[in-house]
Amino acid sequence: MAQALEFVIKAVYLIICVSLIVLTLVQNRRSEGLGAAITGQSDTSRGAMGREEKLGQLIRQISWGFLIASFFVAFILRKLWS
């Protein structure tokens, strides 16, 4: 039973890791850069949530899942090594 739970947690962790990497690579950031920060230029198009905002929100949620899954994996490894 414990080995099955360990396998499931590690599989979920792997899926979270791969999806976080893929979604981060797919994300297309606006290249405003430091020049926009100095001159005060910004993107003023506000309205309905677009594809990039939804993708950013999804990446943020998966990042939280990654953090929580990391604690579970660390707990499992600590039990195995002791």
For the stretch 30-70, pLDDT in tens is: 555 555 556 655 555 555 567 788 888 899 999 999 999 89
Q: Which tokens in the block code for residue 4?
A: 């099955």
pTM surpassing 0.75? no
Residue percentage of the chain with pLDDT more than 70: 70
Residue 23 makes CB contacts below 8 A (sequence gap 6+) with 55, 58, 59, 62
Let me know: does 32 contact 43? Beta carbons within 8 Å: yes
